[in-house]
Structure 1
């Protein structure tokens, strides 16, 4: 009896001292420590962090706002629709009636092109080739949405506000990019400009994906690269949130101002050296 009691006490003590994470913050700290010890590579750590992040985010956090949606109007001429498809590079488009609150369905570029190929002289019955639209509330959690996308084999959803109006749209790619990073396709143009571009006034435009090591070498700086590999990650961490264009901070002898940014990441940073 005494042995059993002692063993239970010892097990409890070992468990208390085992360092097992008790909450999300401790888990992330353990994973970061494992990455620092090269037990977990950076890409794997990034994806695990992304999986944890989407469980706390909602559709409103990453949706394409209503004003930035590329839509097809139901009464558009076919030539105009085709031009919209080509110029945008997208594969799915909400089709609207009088305004963006009236979503009639979703047009897949392949459905339209197939009809034009098979019956080039026949008017396109747009309504007949539309797919049903998926509607979700702004508060839909992203991990739940990703599971529903997979189950329903859907790729896009219309986000509606509390009044039933269209707030924006979200795609499966938007969610996956939070886990694996930006997904580039054939329509994305890779930049051939150098990472660090001197400006006439003595400042610099720096690609946010520039490595901390490259930045430090170029500017004879000493930014800490322990937790982040890129300048964008460093600035985002310093500010404590995903910054918007125009936000700035001053640290380590430099003023960093967000020059361009997308909904999901910083793209270019304006850098000014502090006066000596």
Structure 2
């Protein structure tokens, strides 16, 4: 085995970045073509560069999908929530999710429960930790460094008005680089965009418009980022089940929704003859 084959991944990164001048992405692609790095390694390097460009709002779990506990929740109820959801850290709010006041850690709860003076009826605010707040616009690579320096693994993302926008963990950031990290507690993840045929897709309401454009479903907006938000904007309200919308060559039908948001949408390309008839 030659010297190049024996170099560690980090040796390769140092070697590669040392010869890059203005365009690291171009240098990585050239190194892959020349055999200096494997395809899998080059993909990881490109993902690291991508992390330096992404804002946390592009990666975070949105507010509507966050599992939270009210400050009046008892220790026993919190333990049940952790068992049911498999999360090791859960935000605590007072009154509304816009007012996150702490984070419950599973290991703190276990430590409390095995202590001599524990009380199942105590509230979670007795053992919660201070939350770490960050703005939506924070660059993901910077946050990863902060997580390391603070020895923290979770942050609450807030919007420009101080309201809760979402939640992000160190696992979310690492998944940008290495792909999905699953453990025994993770439920099967439903894709935001599921291809049925070349002309039909099943979409989650949170599917990003940019991702739809990537599969030739041209929907764009300066006001919203998701297809659910787009259809709600077009309707002027949260659409009801079976409401239909035509955008260019595509018909969108709401197939699952509640009073707050759209959950699932059918996207069907309209036949050329139908378009002519219309």
**Which residue among 50, 56, 68 is the counterpart of 1:59?**
56
Report the TM-score, using the length of structure 2 for normalisation.
0.59
Question: What is the RMSD computed on CA atoms of the aligned residues?
Answer: 4.0
Structure 2: distance between partners of 1:102 and 1:245: 27
Q: Match for residue 36 of structure 2?
A: 39
The 8 Å contact of residues 74 and 124 in structure 2, kept in 1 or not, is answered as no
Answering whether residue 166 of structure 2 is matched by residue 168 of structure 1, we say yes
Q: Match for residue 146 of structure 2?
A: 148
Structure 1: distance between partners of 2:40 and 2:109: 38
Answering whether residue 140 of structure 2 is matched by residue 117 of structure 1, we say no
Q: Match for residue 100 of structure 1?
A: 97
The 1:138/1:126 distance shift into structure 2, 3 A limit, reads: same
Structure 2: distance between partners of 1:204 and 1:166: 35
Q: Match for residue 129 of structure 1?
A: 127
Give the C-alpha shift of residue 237 in structure 1.
6.3
Give the C-alpha shift of residue 37 in structure 1.
4.1
The 1:149/1:239 distance shift into structure 2, 3 A limit, reads: farther
Cα shift readout 1:129-183 (whole Å, capped 9, x = no counterpart): 1111101111111111111110000101111111111111111111111111111
Give 5+ residue unaligned stretches, structure 1.
1-19, 192-198, 206-234, 247-269
Q: Which runs of 4+ in 1 moved over 4 A?
A: 235-241, 243-246
Cα shift readout 1:74-124 (whole Å, capped 9, x = no counterpart): 112444322211121111011001001211111001111221233486243
Structure 2: distance between partners of 1:40 and 1:245: 38
Structure 1: distance between partners of 2:56 and 2:94: 24
Report the TM-score, using the length of structure 1 for normalisation.
0.59
- Number of residue-to-residue matches in the alignment: 200
